[in-house]
């Protein structure tokens, strides 16, 4: 889907960025420790990202930042908690493209996840790897498609409910015309345990989640969803090279920090400045390089525009993939 400048400006206007005069507020903020809710389990790529960035933020803000992991329900639990928190900048949410399609998975939310938050700062984006169990006789997407069509309904695809891997996998099945059994899990870690054990045969996963398993030969990568080949997997083709550009997103996952709607502008700008400064540090970039994260540095207004466009991008993909509400 292509947007012109007028469309982008109109969409961005629908994403709230709270305003409030008074530089003194930013100078005294934060007066107490900050809580950052992460809707994924400890040790996940998103959790690592949150801890790396929050450590640098805490040093610059002069206050502790505690990470509170609240996984479950496709990020719904943490999202609801922050949406109803006081708009004082002391409770923040680590989130990403999930905001743009959460209401498609849970139509009875009672609030619009895109409009319920104040955009603070983007952090990073990355892509997925399509991995299979090594016992599967496939070494490419073409091999996988041929096997799935020769033996319809015999392959199993695992995913965490409400996650990007679910969207990517279901969409791939549709565009490739494959009859593959969808097996939902509570989270990605359970998926990969069963994938290694051979109970399921394929999964889309962030590279950071499966790097060690690939290196140890427990999983075989056959494609990446990025626009270009990953530096860590130079011999693995992109989905576009494999003939499925519809499943090539750049990036297909991104993470950012948002605050409850109504958070004062001076606080938002101070947080944005501190986060952007943190993203430029060599130690942060080193971690990003290891996990193949691409830093995303922007203003609150730029983030609002980006979020508005993303909110138009993902729902049609979910509809095309025939993913039903939970």
Q: Given the structure tokens 């892509």, which residue do they identify?
A: 127
Q: Structural domain tally of the chain?
A: 2
Residue 172 predicted with pLDDT over 60 = yes
pLDDT of residue 299: 97
User: Per this entry, what is the length of the chain?
Assistant: 326
Residues 316 and 1: beta-carbon distance below 8 Å? yes
Backbone angles phi, psi at 177, to 5 degrees: 70, 45
pLDDT of residue 19: 44
In a domain, 76, yes or no: yes
pLDDT of residue 123: 97
pLDDT of residue 322: 77
Q: Given the structure tokens 């943190």, which residue do they identify?
A: 278
Whether residue 153 sits in one domain with residue 73? no
Q: Give residues with Cβ within 8 angstroms of 53, minimum separation 6.
A: 123, 275, 278, 279, 284
Residues 221 and 233: beta-carbon distance below 8 Å? yes
What CATH code is carried by the domain that includes residue 54?
A: 3.40.190.150
pLDDT digits (tens, 9 = 90+) for 185-237: 877 888 999 999 999 999 999 888 899 999 999 999 999 998 889 988 999 99
**pLDDT-derived band at 318, boundaries 50, 70, 90:** confident
Whole-model pTM?
Answer: 0.79
User: Domain ends where: 190, 223, 247?
Assistant: 247
Whether residue 16 sits in one domain with residue 39? yes
Chain centroid to CA 94: how far? 10
Whether residue 207 sits in one domain with residue 61? no
Whether residue 218 sits in one domain with residue 70? no
Tokens of 169: 């996998």
174: left (phi over 0), alpha (psi -120 to 50) or beta: alpha
Residue 6 predicted with pLDDT over 80 = no
Structural domain range at position 95: 5-126+252-320
Residues 16 and 259: beta-carbon distance below 8 Å? no
pLDDT of residue 24: 58
Residue 179 predicted with pLDDT over 50 = yes
* DSSP designation for 113: T
pLDDT of residue 84: 94
Whether residue 122 sits in one domain with residue 138? no
Q: What is the mean pLDDT of residues 272-285?
A: 96
pLDDT digits (tens, 9 = 90+) for 114-166: 999 999 999 999 889 999 999 999 999 999 999 999 999 999 999 987 788 88
Residue 225 to residue 253: CA distance in whole angstroms: 10
Residues 284 and 56: beta-carbon distance below 8 Å? yes
Whether residue 257 sits in one domain with residue 122? yes
pLDDT of residue 11: 45
pLDDT digits (tens, 9 = 90+) for 252-262: 789 999 999 99
Q: Given the structure tokens 């507020």, which residue do they identify?
A: 25
User: Domain ends where: 186, 219, 247?
Assistant: 247
Whether residue 242 sits in one domain with residue 157? yes
72: left (phi over 0), alpha (psi -120 to 50) or beta: left
Residue 226 to residue 233: CA distance in whole angstroms: 11
Whether residue 156 sits in one domain with residue 184? yes
Angle between the 282-291 and 45-61 helix axes, to the nearest 10 degrees?
180
pLDDT of residue 74: 72
Residue 104 predicted with pLDDT over 90 = no
pLDDT of residue 326: 58
Label residues 136-171 b or e (16+ Cβ within 10 Å = b): bebeebeebbebbeeeeeebbbbbbebbbbbbbbbb
Residue 48 to residue 276: CA distance in whole angstroms: 17
Whether residue 112 sits in one domain with residue 13? yes
In a domain, 109, yes or no: yes
pLDDT digits (tens, 9 = 90+) for 18-60: 444 445 566 789 999 999 999 988 888 889 999 999 999 999 9
Residue 10 predicted with pLDDT over 80 = no
The dihedral built from the CA positions of residue 206, 211, 212 and 217, taken in this order, carries a sign that is positive
Bridging pattern class, strands 65-69 and 181-185: unpaired
- Which helix H or strand E contains 35, and what residues bound it? strand 34-38
* DSSP designation for 238: B
Other Cβ atoms less than 10 A from the Cβ of 231: the count is: 8
Angle between the 45-61 and 265-279 helix axes, to the nearest 10 degrees?
110
What SS3 class is residue 156?
A: strand
User: Domain ends where: 198, 226, 247?
Assistant: 247
Whether residue 226 sits in one domain with residue 141? yes
Q: Give residues with Cβ within 8 angstroms of 45, minimum separation 6.
A: 126, 206, 208, 209, 291, 293
Residue 166 to residue 185: CA distance in whole angstroms: 10
pLDDT digits (tens, 9 = 90+) for 49-100: 999 999 999 999 999 999 999 987 778 899 999 999 999 999 999 999 889 8
In a domain, 179, yes or no: yes
């Amino acid at each position: 889907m292509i947007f012109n400048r007028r469309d982008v400006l109109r969409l961005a206007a629908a994403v709230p960025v709270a305003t409030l005069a008074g530089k003194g507020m930013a100078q005294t903020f934060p007066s107490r420790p900050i809580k950052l809710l992460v809707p994924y389990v400890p040790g996940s790529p998103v959790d690592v990202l949150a801890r790396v960035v929050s450590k640098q933020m805490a040093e610059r803000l002069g206050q502790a930042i505690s990470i509170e992991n609240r996984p479950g329900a496709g990020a719904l639990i943490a999202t609801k908690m922050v949406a109803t928190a006081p708009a004082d900048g002391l409770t923040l949410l680590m989130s990403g493209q999930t905001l743009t399609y959460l209401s498609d998975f849970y139509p009875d939310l009672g609030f619009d996840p895109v409009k319920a938050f104040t955009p603070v700062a983007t952090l990073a984006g990355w892509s997925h790897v399509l991995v299979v169990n090594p016992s599967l006789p496939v070494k490419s997407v073409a091999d996988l498609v041929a096997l799935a069509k020769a033996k319809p309904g015999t392959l199993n695809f695992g995913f965490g409910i409400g996650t990007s891997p679910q969207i990517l996998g279901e969409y791939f099945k549709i565009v490739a015309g494959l009859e593959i059994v969808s097996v939902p899990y509570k989270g990605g870690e359970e998926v990969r345990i069963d994938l290694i054990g051979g109970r399921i045969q394929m999964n889309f996963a962030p590279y950071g989640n499966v790097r060690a398993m690939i290196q140890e030969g427990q999983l075989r990568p056959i494609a990446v969803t990025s626009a270009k080949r990953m530096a860590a997997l130079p011999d693995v083709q992109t989905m576009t090279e494999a003939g499925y550009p519809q499943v090539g997103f750049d990036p297909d996952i991104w993470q950012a920090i948002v605050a409850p709607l109504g958070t004062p502008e001076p606080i938002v700008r101070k947080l944005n400045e501190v986060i952007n400064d943190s993203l430029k540090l060599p130690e942060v970039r080193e971690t990003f390089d290891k996990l193949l994260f691409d830093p995303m540095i922007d203003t609150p207004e730029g983030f609002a525009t980006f979020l508005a466009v993303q909110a138009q991008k993902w729902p049609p993909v979910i509809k095309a993939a025939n993913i039903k509400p939970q």
